[in-house]
Amino acid sequence: MQAGLFPPELATEVLAPGACVLRGFALDAAPGLLAAIAEIARAAPFRHMTTPGGFRMSVAMTSCGALGWVTDATGYRYAAHDPESGGPWPAMPEALLAFARRAAAAAGHADCRPDACLVNRYAPGTKLSLHQDRDERDHGAPIVSVSLGLPAVFLFGGARRKDPQVRVPLAHGDVVVWGGASRLFHHGVLPIAQGHHPATGAYRYNLTFRKAG
């Protein structure tokens, strides 16, 4: 979104060139998004994957859409099949796709067409170490991220791993759209604090919509 076109109370918070926070954008959609997550998890249960370095991820993950993100002893990649079931990932529910497109449009990205939605589940104590998202084919397409449930502190760095980081609190219903120059910036999530959220109990969920293939 361009600065100056909207009154300040409607303006998005710009974290870095191409990175917009839409506070509360998912609040109305949250019950439907959580119902969709439950349906996805019935078909493709959350699992803790093991990275090539042999570390079990504390974040539990699943995916929907044509492609899902996987890691194992051989690397990181998007795959058309769920390695646990051998079958395709569950389709991306229309309500999820429509929501992601609305969020991308609100951040100035017309006609966003994600083909993968990674679903992360965090229990208290769970963290996501600093990383870049570079397994997608087209780094020009934005990523739409939706936070649900327990709050988190997001770590947002720069193009280089050692670049300074800012801490961004993310609450239930917050949406972040990452595109442009910030698309390949390093980022992570600090350990989630103990807590209870009325919509999700003892969990935080994060949806990331990506154009992976």
Residue numbers at the binding site for ligand MD3 (CB under 6 A) = 118, 120, 128, 133, 143, 145, 176, 178, 182-183, 185, 187, 189, 206, 208
Integer CA distances (angstroms), 37 to 1, 68, 83, 141, 148, in order: 29, 14, 19, 23, 11
Half-sphere exposure in the Cβ direction for 55 (13 Å, CA)? 8
Taking the C-alpha atoms of residue 172 and residue 79, their distance in angstroms, rounded to an integer, is 29
Smaller CB distance to ligand MD3: residue 66 or 171? Answer: 171
Taking the C-alpha atoms of residue 133 and residue 17, their distance in angstroms, rounded to an integer, is 17
Q: Quote the least distance from Cβ 119 to ligand MD3, whole Å.
A: 9
Q: Quote the least distance from Cβ 163 to ligand MD3, whole Å.
A: 12
Integer CA distances (angstroms), 82 to 59, 114, 192, in order: 17, 18, 27
**Which residues, 8 to 47, sit near Fe ion by CB under 5 A?**
none
128 binds, among Fe ion, ligand MD3, none (CB under 5 to 8 A by kind): ligand MD3
Q: Quote the least distance from Cβ 176 to ligand MD3, whole Å.
A: 5
Smaller CB distance to ligand MD3: residue 97 or 117? Answer: 117
**Which residues, 105 to 144, sit near Fe ion by CB under 5 A?**
133
Taking the C-alpha atoms of residue 204 and residue 61, their distance in angstroms, rounded to an integer, is 12
Site size toward Fe ion, by CB under 5 A: 1
Q: Quote the least distance from Cβ 147 to ligand MD3, whole Å.
A: 6
172 binds, among ligand MD3, Fe ion, none (CB under 5 to 8 A by kind): none
Residues forming the site for Fe ion (CB under 5 A) = 133
